[in-house]
Amino acid sequence: MRASIYTPAYLVRTVAAWAVALLLFFPLGWLLLTAFKTELQAIAVPPELFFSPTLENFHEVQQRSDYLHYAWNSVVTSVASTLIGLAIAAPAAYAMAFHKGKRDKDILMWMLSTKMMPAVGALVPIYVLAQKSQLLDTQLALIIVFTLSNLPIMVWMLYASFKEIPNEILEAARMDGATLWQEAFKVLLPLGMGGLASTGLLCLVLSWNEAFWSLNLSAAKGGTLATLIASYSSPEGLFWAKLSAASLMAIAPIVVFGWFSQKQLVQGLTFGAVK
Amino acid sequence: MAYLQLQGIEKFFGDNRAIKGIDLSIQKGEFIVFVGPSGCGKSTLLRLIAGLEHIDGGTLTLDGKDITHAPSSKRDLAMVFQSYALYPHMSVYENMSFALKLAKVDATIIEDKVQNAARILNLTTYLQRTPKELSGGQRQRVAIGRAIVRSPKVFLFDEPLSNLDAALRGQTRVEIAKLHRDLGATTIYVTHDQVEAMTLADRVVVLRDGIIEQVGTPLELYDQPANQFVAQFIGTPQMNVVALAQLPAPLAQQAPAAAATGFIGLRPESVTVRASGSTPVSGQVDLVEALGAETLIYVRLSNGAQLVARQNERTPLRAGDAVSLDIDAALAHWFDSAGHVVTRKA
Closest C-alpha to B141, from B185, B178, B191: B178
Q: What is the reported pLDDT for A3?
A: 63
Q: How far apart are CA B71 and CA B55, in angstroms?
A: 11
* DSSP structure class, residue B88: T
The last residue of one of the domains, among B170, B203, B228, is: B228
Task: Tell me, yes or no, whether B305 lies in a domain.
Answer: yes
**Does B119 share its domain with B193?**
yes
Q: What is the CATH number of the domain that holds A146?
A: 1.10.3720.10
Residue B250: pLDDT band (50, 70, 90) is confident
Does one domain contain both B130 and B245?
no
Residues B169 and B318 in one domain: no
How would residue A85 be classed by pLDDT, with cut points 50, 70 and 90? Answer: very high
Facing A179 at nearest CB: one of B51, B73, B86: B73
- For B333, the enclosing helix (H) or strand (E) is strand B333-335
Same domain, B220 and B275: no
Instruction: Give me chain A's average pLDDT, please.
Output: 88
Q: Which positions in chain A touch B52 (Cβ < 8 Å)? A: 171, 174-175
CATH number reported for the structural domain that contains residue B27 in this entry: 3.40.50.300
Of A168, A171, A175, the CB nearest to B78: A175
Would you give the DSSP letter of residue B340?
Answer: B
Residues A50 and A158 in one domain: no
Amino acid type, A42: A
| Helices vs strands, H then E, count in chain A | 14, 0
With contact defined as beta carbons under 8 Å apart, do A244 and A191 qualify? no
Quick check: is A133 in a domain? yes
Asked if omega into B131 is within 30° of 0 (cis), the reply is no
**Residues A31, A82 share a domain:** no
ipTM: 0.85
Same domain, B168 and B217: yes
* Domain-located, residue A84: yes
Residue A273: pLDDT band with limits 50, 70, 90: very low
Question: Are both B216 and B85 inside the same structural domain?
Answer: yes
Question: Using 50, 70 and 90 to split pLDDT, how confident is the model at A274?
Answer: very low
Task: Report d(CA A114, CA B39) in Å as an integer.
Answer: 41
Average pLDDT over residues B277-287: 89
Best of A102, A169, A176 to disrupt the B interface (most B CBs within 10 Å) is: A176
Indicate the residue of A169, A179, A186 with minimum beta-carbon distance to B85: A169
pLDDT higher than threshold 70 for residue B111: yes
> Is the pLDDT assigned to residue B132 strictly greater than 80?
yes
Choose, out of B43, B89, B146, the residue to mutate when testing the contact with A (most A CBs < 10 Å).
B89
Confidence band of B220 (pLDDT split at 50, 70, 90): very high
B78: chain A residues, CB-CB within 8 Å = 175-176
- Regarding whether A130 and A37 lie in a shared domain, the answer is no
Burial label for B296, CB within 10 Å (0-12, 13-18, 19+), is middle
B77-80 sheet: strands from edge to edge? B77-80, B154-158, B186-191, B31-35, B203-208, B211-216
pLDDT at position A275: 35
A36-46: average pLDDT: 85
Secondary structure class of B45 (helix, strand, coil): helix
pLDDT at B203 over 70: yes
Identify whether residues B215 and B304 lie together within a single domain: no
Handedness of CA B131, B134, B139, B145 (dihedral sign): negative
Residues in chain A: 275
Backbone angles phi, psi at A242, to 5 degrees: -70, -40
Range of the domain at A40: 8-56
Of all residues in chain A, the one with the smallest CA distance to B148 is: A176
Residue A96: pLDDT above 90?
Answer: yes
Q: Could you tell me the residue range of the domain that residue B310 belongs to?
A: 240-342
Q: What is the CA radius of gyration of chain A?
A: 23
Are A44 and A78 found together in one domain?
no
- Buried b or exposed e, range B23-43, using 16+ CB within 10 angstroms: ebebeeebbbbbbbeeebbbb
Tell me the pLDDT tens digit for each residue of B41-97.
Answer: 999 999 999 999 999 999 999 999 999 999 999 999 999 999 999 999 999 999 999
Classify residue B93 as exposed, middle or buried by CB count within 10 Å of its CB (0-12, 13-18, 19+). Answer: buried
Residue B66 belongs to what H/E stretch? Answer: strand B65-66
Question: Helix, strand or coil for residue B20?
Answer: strand
Interface of B with A in 90-109 (CB under 8 A): 98-99, 102-103
A151 and A51 within one domain: no
Higher pLDDT pick, B214 / B136: B214
Do B257 and B205 lie in one domain? The reply is: no
Residues making up chain B, counted from first to last: 346
Distances (CA, A) of A218 to A61, A154, A169, A222, B247: 19, 24, 46, 5, 94
Question: Number of structural domains, chain A?
Answer: 2
Q: Within this chain, do residues B290 and B197 fall inside the same structural domain, yes or no?
A: no
Shortest Cα–Cα distance, A80 to chain B (Å): 29
Q: Specify the pLDDT at position A130.
A: 93
> Are both B39 and B83 inside the same structural domain?
yes
Average pLDDT over residues A181-185: 93
Note the pLDDT of residue A63. Answer: 84
Residue B278 clears pLDDT 70, i.e. is over it: yes
- Res. B19 pLDDT band, cuts 50 70 90: very high
Domain membership of residue B233 (yes or no) is: no
Tell whether the model's pLDDT for residue A159 goes beyond 80.
Answer: yes
Q: Which positions ≥6 away from A211 have C-beta within 8 Å?
A: A226, A230
A35 and A95 inside one domain: no
Shared domain check, B205 and B301: no
Chain A residues closer than 8 Å to B81 by CB: 168, 171-172
DSSP string, A171-191: HHHHHTT--HHHIIIIIIHHH
Which residues on neighbouring strands pair with residue B340, listed in sequence order?
B227
Best residue in B52, B114, B188 to probe A by mutation, most A CBs within 10 Å?
B52
Same domain, A28 and A126: no
Residues A160 and A261 in one domain: yes
Say if residue A107 is in the same domain as residue A23.
no
Asked if A172 and B88 come within 8 Å (Cβ–Cβ), the reply is no
CA distance B188 to B6: 13
Q: What does the alpha-carbon distance between residue A25 and residue A255 come to, in Å, rounded to a whole number?
A: 13
Residue predicted with more confidence, B1 or A36: A36
Give just the sign of the alpha carbon dihedral B40, B44, B48, B53: negative
Measured CA to CA, the distance from residue B39 to residue A52 in angstroms comes to: 78
In whole angstroms, what is the distance from residue B23 CA to residue B212 CA? 8
Give domain status of residue B23, yes or no.
yes
Decide if A177 and B83 are in contact by the 8 Å CB cutoff.
no
Beta-carbon contacts of B84 under 8 Å, excluding residues fewer than 6 positions away, are: B131, B139, B140, B142, B143, B163
Kindly give the residue spans of alpha helices, DSSP state H, lying in B149-217. Answer: 166-183, 194-200
**Residue B112 within a domain:** yes
**CATH at residue B254:** 2.40.50.140
Does B179 score more than 50 pLDDT?
yes
Arithmetic mean of pLDDT, B201-226? 95
| B139 plus B268 within the same structural domain | no
CA B129 vs CA A33, A89, A145, B84, B92: distances in Å: 53, 33, 46, 16, 6
DSSP-based three-state secondary structure for B151? coil
Same domain flag for A126 and A168: yes
Which residues are CB-neighbours of A63 under 8 A, at least 6 positions away?
A: none
pLDDT of res. B1: 62
Specify if A274 maps to a domain. Answer: no
Contact call for A172 and B52, based on CB within 8 A: no
A124 and A44 in a single domain? The answer is no
The answer to the question of residue B284 being in a domain is yes
Does pLDDT of B100 surpass 90?
yes
CB of B169 closer than 8 Å to CB of B200: no
Of B180, B202, B228, the one marking the end of a domain is B228
| Closest by Cα among B199, B246, B171 to B31 | B199
pLDDT number for residue B33: 96
Domain stop point among B188, B203, B228: B228
What does the pLDDT read at residue A237? 63
Backbone angles phi, psi at A170, to 5 degrees: -70, -35
Q: Categorize the per-residue pLDDT at A2 as very low, low, confident or very high, splitting at 50, 70 and 90.
A: low
Q: How many domains does chain B have?
A: 2
Of all residues in chain B, the one with the smallest CA distance to A178 is: B73
- Separation CA A244–CA A51 (nearest Å): 16
Judge whether B234 lies within some domain.
no
Helix (H, G, I), strand (E, B) or coil at B152: coil
pLDDT at site B21: 94
Residue A33 lies in a domain: yes
Q: Select the highest-mean-pLDDT range: A73-82, A118-127, A249-258.
A: A73-82
The rounded percent of chain B whose pLDDT value lies above 70 is 99
Q: Looking at residue B106, what DSSP letter applies?
A: -
